[in-house]
Structure 1
């Protein structure tokens, strides 16, 4: 399909270190079943101006995992052409860029904050909401009066409401940084 679209440069991302090393000639292919596959890859590679193989460990390849899960859930007819999915890689996750004002005036993290302070959800929460709040709360903690969220790279995000977020953004845009 890539060849039919006239693509000349190809970047292949994956966790298949063995195949990458064999294709680049660093390792020998001994398994007879893989020899035909390797030959097919070599033949296809001649149809491109350049091919770059990038090794991404499986635990860093969340996108491929999510797409594979999604693809396994969707039924599709055998004789249909599926339009390729265009993906743009950004420097940071989308949720870092979103700040929405709260419709009821309460901060978005109020349920989590209350759960951490008093140990139970509000009386109007149903079973699913209680379970969700308990699950979300496990990734948050208090340091003094401030609520923080732990993220996988061991950094901490301070939880702020929309008003405080706007104030911080204005301060940073004006170049003022408080070092106290």
Structure 2
């Protein structure tokens, strides 16, 4: 599975780690996940011009957590080789794997020794490759995609369709406000009845009864219409343009810290 996503947010993490002398180096982030649903690995290869190339794979065999991390690292390094990368910086949140690959810790687990030997052979292909440990909170995107891949059950030769992950800063229904064709607010008939006891033209007897019942929960103060809430709080009635402006200001935080969704609505 090869997800596609917008990379504006994650670029901030790469830039924090970047240095002037490393501007020509590629960056590799990797992570692995093991849970009751399976094992998934994810790598993100980043070019010097900040182009993201993500790769996600589900492991369909039994393995330990550390084996999963090594599988993810191997996947990423092999992807870098396929792209003819010669300068590479590798990042992961696994202290054990990173220190073992740097040669600082001894590898005693017989299941990990073959991985380490294989990766060292791959390292010979690069002009320069280095390994760096990062906090888990800086590896969240890769961890999330690895978790996603671990949850899917697919055949040995079947790739899933591409996943397009985008950033939405507003709810889907934001500013979706229906406007009357005659440009009258939704409460026009209610306000007119309270003020003048006048019914809409062509209103049937049933429409008139409904209108009279509705108006019992509304209050007209001068020219402003209010609706009584269940707790007797008066809510000001607004038209579509006013509602759109209020929604914009609320979501921009103009009125301070957001309440929970129900209270804000």
Larger strand proportion of the pair: 2
Q: Give the TM interval when normalised to the shorter protein.
A: 0.3 to 0.5
Point out which structure has higher relative CO (alpha carbons under 8 A, 6+ apart). 2
In the superposition, the TM-score normalised over structure 2's length comes to: 0.33
